[in-house]
Structure formats: C-alpha cells, structure tokens
Amino acid sequence: MGGGGPDEEDNNNDKWPPWLKPLLKEQFFVQCKLHMDSHKSECNMYCLDCMNGSLCSFCLAYHRDHNYIQIRRSSYHDVIRVSEIQKYLDISGVQTYVINSAKVVFLNERPQPRPGKGVINTCEVCDRSLVDNFRFCSLGCKIVGTSKDFRKKKRQLAMVSSDSEDSYSSSSHGKPRKNDDNSNKVRSFSPSTPPPTSVNYRNAK
C-alpha cells in the first residue's frame, strides 16, 4: 500500500496517507523533463511510495515494484478512477461521476459561479452543486471539510448565525418583555407608586 500512516497531517489529527496532499498539489499533463524527446512523455502518473512529482509512462520503469496511480482529464480538471483510488483511500462522501464509461472522482474543487435553481445538496466546503447525498465535490474538499479546524469554524459560524437570529427575534418581538422587566423592577422597589412611564405621560400632559 502507498502509505496511510496515522496522524501525519500537519495542522489537524485527521488520518490521511502522506502522499495525498502532495498528489493534490501536483501539476499533471505537462511534458516530462527527463523524457521530453520521447513520444508520449506527458506526465499523468504518480508514485504513492516515492511522492516525487508527476511521472510519464517512461518514468514508471524506475517504479515497477511501487504503488502508482494514473491521473486522467475531464474538462481540463484532473480526475482519478474510483477503481484505482479506493484501493488506497477512503473516498466515501465524495461525489462520483461516470466519464468514458468509468466512475471517477475529481482531485480538487472546481469553481462554480452559483448553484443552479432548485439545488438542494451542495459541497460542504465550496458549495458546488452535488447530486444524491454526497458531502464533497472532490478529494481536496474532503480533506478540508473533515479537518478539525474547518469543523470548528463551521460550528462558530452556525453559532453566530443563530445568535443573530435570536437578536433579531428579540428586537422584533421582545420589546414588551424589556419594558415588563423594567416595570417589574420598579414595582418590586416601590409597589405603591406607578411605573415611571405613566408618570412621564402625566407630566407631558
């Protein structure tokens, strides 16, 4: 297997293989610097054991006994076949697509101007439209979305939004309550005198 050491994340304690982050940052479909004179020297392979950049098919001669995966392209975005990646990585919750009769997942998020009309389900990280009950649009979004930092920020945002809703409801519906509190205080200190509001009203007349 190509890795999968526990607790090897830098900023959080999520368990990811050490090759995953380098893989997602790697640039694929560029010409190989070592075999640029050769035909088909486009780099679309990645060695999970060496983690030393993208490789072309000629580079694989040096990685015969290693675990490697092939990266493919769909609409200028990098994808990997589910049948390949699921041997090494838990991809549950990530949206899958069928491209050229093969089920694939995207490596990184793809910017989307805005979700379409009637979209119910979106990526928890980038808000891209999703089908069914998937949580993330890509492997990159799953890394971010399952990190402790992200979950903590999401909880804080949820608390802030609920606080703002509470303050709105109290400002629109809670005014009588405030007056009631004040009048109760006044009454408790001087039960024989009327509340200050009614005194002011008489003086104004």
Give pLDDT tens digits for 2-58: 333 333 344 444 579 999 999 999 999 999 999 988 888 899 999 999 999 999 999
If you compute the radius of gyration of the chain from its CA atoms, what whole number of angstroms results? 29
Q: Coil, strand or helix: which one is 103?
A: strand
Q: How does pLDDT run across 86-135, given as a tens digit for each residue?
A: 999 999 999 999 998 999 999 999 888 776 677 788 999 998 999 878 99
pTM greater than 0.85: no
- Could you write out the three-class secondary structure of 66-99? CCEEECEEECCEEEEEHHHHCCCCCCCCECCEEE
Q: Coil, strand or helix: which one is 185?
A: helix
pLDDT grade for 192, boundaries at 50, 70 and 90 = very low
